Structure 1
Amino acid sequence: MLTVNDRTFQESIRTVGVTLVDFSTPWCPPCKVLKPILNEIADAYGEKLAVLDVNCDESPEIAGEYGIMSNPTVIIFHDRQPVEKLVGLRPKTVYESLLSKYL
């Protein structure tokens, strides 16, 4: 999982392919539970998927641009376009099911 910020976000989103972005904060308990799940997903999908982490406290511009109002929020991008948005902690199978539509 690659940590990005307001300055590096746009260049880190895959132009072609799928990018999963975790918008979270380090003090959020559900966010702490989600991190290992997303690391497992990143390891399982390897090069087929880019997984990015955005700290909303440190990157308020990009969080605001995507309407992040609650943590954690996961947005799946396909070819640089947001296609799925999940607010709150979900089971790993939910993320995998959504990713399967785009991979």
Structure 2
Amino acid sequence: PVLPPSGLDLGLFELDNKNSIILLSTGWALALILVLYIRLFRKPAEVEEEEEEEVPLGHNEVRIDEYNKVTCSSCDARLGVPEGSEPPFRFTCPKCDERIRVVE
């Protein structure tokens, strides 16, 4: 009877048990290093920023625009916000004397 090989028979050559274990573990180690390399250096997925829903404005409420100005809800006057004011706060429109609440 023909005895099985004492290692790996690759057709062209035969590896004994010690060399076949070294070859297989080297292959697994290289595959693991390749997977870690790909995960480490791939581009991060683009995260879509969720836009916050703006709360509807109530009576005499306005929002500050990018130029630090507000528009009066009664007379449509364009007004500068007082220095150092952080929303929410109230102030009086100088044109129509209406109380305006500034919100974020």
Q: TM range, normalised to the smaller chain?
A: under 0.3
Structure number, greater radius of gyration: 2
Q: State the TM-score, normalizing by the size of structure 1.
A: 0.23
Q: Which has the higher helix share?
A: 1
Q: State the TM-score, normalizing by the size of structure 2.
A: 0.23
Q: Which gives a bigger RCO, structure 1 or 2 (Cα 8 Å, sep 6+)?
A: 1
Q: Which has the higher strand share?
A: 1
